[in-house]
Amino acid sequence: MSPSSEDNIVTRQVIKSFFVKLQEEGEGSLVRNAITEMDQKLLDPFVLLVEFSFSLSVGYPDHPHRGFESLTYMLKGGIIHKDLKGQKSIIKAGDVQWMTAGRGIIHSEYPEQEVNNGLQLWINLPSIHRMMEPKNLELSGSEIQRAEEDGVEVKVIAGDSMGIKSPSHTTTPMMYLDFTLKPGSQTHQTVPYSWTAFAYILEGDEGVFSSMNSSAISAHHVVVFGPGELVSVWNKSSSRSLRFLLIAGEPIGEPMVQSGPFVMSSQAEIDMAFEDYQNAKNGFEMAKSS
């Protein structure tokens, strides 16, 4: 995609970038927390982004969620997903799972292979949709649309790029694009002006964002963009590809409180979610059988 020659096209500038450290979260589980509580307001409507890997002896047993949607994207290996409604799926490398927690879901996640690596993004819901019915949608890697042009490949998980559009419908309007830039290549992606936008770099060490004269940024950095209509990226490396996720979404602009597995509009609603789960009611009736 080439940059527009029109003077009124505003290229988004980098307003913040930071390195995401690898941390041990319990024995056998390694994570990078790319969105912290400190950045939740800046990155509305996004709540959390975690890159994870864990050993076969580690997993997440049955636990509840309410009030948001999540997108799990596997890079290596696979995870086994089960919920208390009897649904089971294995999400393998290249696959995506959309989960709408809505009014309540209880599920478990366990590694399917010893070597595994993936990302999970939590997307906030407007208050009018928080208590919608829960649902799951899986997309295999072969179902994800992709395009390649001038040394740039993109996988369109949500939104549109290079003339192709994802079939996925998200409650909160957003895009989730997996870009790989060969050495020396560049891309210029349009994003709605008012949307929040950030990138998470998966591979590479000479990614340049916003302008060719900017400082190079390496893998495991988050790059947050200011307002504008165009995200411009160059791979200045002569030998290594640059792979990054470009994630953008329409801000909700409402109060949001996240506590453990719940995302709600107030502390009172968080307290009610914990109470509903403990008492197996209001969306958590399946907890009676767990």
pLDDT at 16: 95
For residue 231, the one-letter residue type is: V
For residue 238, the one-letter residue type is: S
**CA R_g for the chain:** 19
**pLDDT band (50, 70, 90) for residue 2:** very low
Which residues 6+ apart lie within 8 Å of 152 measured at CB? 1, 162, 179, 180, 181, 182, 185, 186, 187
Q: Is the pLDDT of residue 165 over 90?
A: yes
pLDDT at 60: 86
For residue 50, the one-letter residue type is: V
* Alpha helices in 109-203, H assignment, sequence order: none
Neighbours of 138 (CB within 10 A): 16
pLDDT at 59: 83
- For residues 238 and 9, the model is more confident at 238
Domains of the chain: 14-267 (2.60.120.10)
Dihedral pair phi/psi, residue 278, rounded to 5°: -65, -30
What does the alpha-carbon distance between residue 266 and residue 63 come to, in Å, rounded to a whole number?
21
3-state secondary structure 222-236: EEEECCCCEEEEEEC
What value does the mean pLDDT take over residues 165-170?
Answer: 85
Q: Is the pLDDT of residue 1 over 60?
A: no
**pLDDT band (50, 70, 90) for residue 185:** very high
Q: Is the pLDDT of residue 5 over 50?
A: no
Nearest to 4 by CA among 209, 244, 189, 197: 189
pLDDT at 241: 98
Q: What is the pLDDT of residues 47-104, one digit of tens each?
A: 999 999 988 888 888 999 999 999 999 999 999 999 887 788 999 999 999 999 999 9
Q: Tokens 């009611």: give the residue.
A: 281
What value does the mean pLDDT take over residues 29-56?
Answer: 94
What value does the mean pLDDT take over residues 185-193?
Answer: 97
pLDDT at 289: 61
Token pair in block for residue 243: 């792979």
Paired sense of beta strands 105-111 and 78-83, if any: antiparallel
**pLDDT band (50, 70, 90) for residue 212:** confident
Dihedral pair phi/psi, residue 276, rounded to 5°: -60, -40
pLDDT at 6: 47
Paired sense of beta strands 145-149 and 152-158, if any: antiparallel
Nearest to 12 by CA among 188, 196, 234, 230: 230
What does the alpha-carbon distance between residue 47 and residue 256 come to, in Å, rounded to a whole number?
9
Q: Is the pLDDT of residue 224 over 90?
A: yes
